[in-house]
Structures are given as C-alpha cells and as structure tokens.
C-alpha cells in the first residue's frame, strides 16, 4: 500500500492524485464488498477545501451512481450544509468504505454497517485522501466514521460536538444524516438542534481558515 502514500506526497496536483487513487479504488478487490458492488464511490467535491466530511459507506443510490450522498441522507446533508451557507461543492465528501455493504433480507438487498475488516481494508484509501487533501477540519458523520478516524472507543452520543485531533486536522463527529432521518417527535428536534450546533461550530473554524487564506 506504500504506493498510495507515495502518490499523495509527490508533486502532482491534487486532482491528478485523486484521479489516480480513484482508479485504484475502481479495481480494488481487497474485501468481499467488491463482489457485490455496481460502482465504487470514491468521493466528490473540492480537493482544496479545508473541510472534509466522511460518512459511513455508500447505500443503494450511491452504488448505482458512483457518487457519495445522493439519496435521502444526502438531501438532508445538503440542507445541513445550506444552513451554514455551504454547498457540497465547497467541501470534500467521502466515506470510510468505498463500496456498498449490503445484506439480502426477504429477497431484497438492504444496507448494513460495514464490518471492521472491510473498513480496515479500505482505510489506506481514506488515509491517502487525507494526505492529498490535507483538510484543516474533518467532520465525521456518525459513529463508525468517528471510530475509524478519531478513536476506536468513540461514542457518538457522548463525544459528538467535541473537537479532537486526527490526521493533523481538527476533527469532530456529529450524528449521521440517516440517523437524523430515523428520529421522530421531540427526539428528532433535539437531534437536529445538536447537528445544527455542531455544523455551526465547524463552519466557524472553516471561516477562520478561509480568512487566513485570503
Ligand atoms: N450514507 C453514507 O454514509 N454515505 C453515503 O455516501 C450515503 C449515505
């Protein structure tokens, strides 16, 4: 896997490095998720953004299109970003695993959480994305991303909203948009308030970095 890091550290531009990496991902067979995928879902957005958002893994819509966060959770993510005047084109979006994890239930394929072995197999790609994009801020969407990136003992209900350090960046986790969509009534209102608060804190740091750049 050394070649991934070499690619990330060479003098090529970021688009080219990400393109090379995405080609490697497209033919990856490191775990069984490669057997059932339609498309790999590498990532999208601005490779020069100071803010990288990392979700869990592609669902059915993402598997069908090859793009991250294009289903209902993605629509909510767009709304969350819009609340702080950001669009998905101003950030870089990716996932802990680049292929859909699914299980057959009653003749239908349903999304499942990626296994630790699958996340581990895919991790060098995510690390190479971090090394290429060099985000100042990483926002983990949901517990699995936070456990992968920030701390294996991370508990999303206990630790969300707190700044940590990961891959040389300020890192925070908030609830995954799909989790928000599963809440109802007062739980839903509270979860939304928490996510909105977290994203506002993230945006404040994003603005500081953008001001320094200008
Ligand atoms: N959920 C994720 O975690 N990632 C996606 O890309 C879509 C839904």
The answer to whether residues 203 and 84 touch, using CB atoms and an 8 Å cutoff, is yes
66 CB within 6 A, ligand 1? no
Rounded Cα distance between 31 and 36, Å, is 10
63 CB within 6 A, ligand 1? no
User: How far does the centroid of ligand 1 lie from the alpha carbon of residue 29, in Å?
Assistant: 20
118 CB within 6 A, ligand 1? no
Q: So what's the pLDDT on residue 11?
A: 52
* Nearest ligand 1 atom to alpha carbon 145: 3
User: How far does the centroid of ligand 1 lie from the alpha carbon of residue 137, in Å?
Assistant: 19
Q: So what's the pLDDT on residue 6?
A: 53
User: How far does the centroid of ligand 1 lie from the alpha carbon of residue 194, in Å?
Assistant: 20
Say which residues have a Cβ less than 8 Å from residue 132's Cβ, sequence separation at least 6.
7, 8, 14, 17, 18, 21, 47
Q: So what's the pLDDT on residue 84?
A: 98
- The residue ranges of the chain whose pLDDT is under 70 are 1-12
Residue with tokens 């990496």: 21
45 CB within 6 A, ligand 1? no
Q: So what's the pLDDT on residue 140?
A: 99
Q: So what's the pLDDT on residue 210?
A: 98
């Amino acid at each position: 896997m050394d070649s991934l890091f070499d690619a990330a550290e060479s003098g090529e531009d970021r688009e080219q490095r990400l393109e090379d990496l995405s080609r490697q991902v497209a033919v990856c067979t490191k775990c069984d998720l490669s057997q059932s995928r339609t498309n790999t879902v590498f990532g999208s957005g601005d490779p020069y953004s100071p803010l990288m958002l990392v979700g869990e893994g592609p669902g059915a819509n993402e598997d069908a299109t090859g793009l991250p966060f294009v289903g209902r959770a993605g629509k909510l993510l767009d709304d969350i970003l819009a609340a702080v005047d950001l669009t998905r084109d101003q950030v870089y979006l990716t996932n802990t695993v680049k292929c859909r994890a699914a299980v057959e239930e009653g003749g239908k394929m349903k999304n499942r959480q990626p296994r630790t072995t699958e996340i581990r197999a895919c991790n060098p790609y995510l690390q190479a994305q971090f090394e290429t994009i060099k985000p100042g801020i990483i926002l983990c969407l949901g517990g699995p991303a936070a456990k992968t990136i920030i701390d294996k003992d991370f508990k999303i209900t206990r630790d969300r909203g707190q700044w940590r350090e990961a891959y040389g960046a300020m890192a925070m986790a908030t609830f995954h948009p799909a989790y928000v969509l599963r809440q109802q009534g007062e739980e839903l209102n509270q979860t939304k308030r928490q996510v909105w608060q977290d994203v506002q804190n993230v945006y404040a740091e994003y603005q500081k970095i953008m001001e320094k750049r200008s």
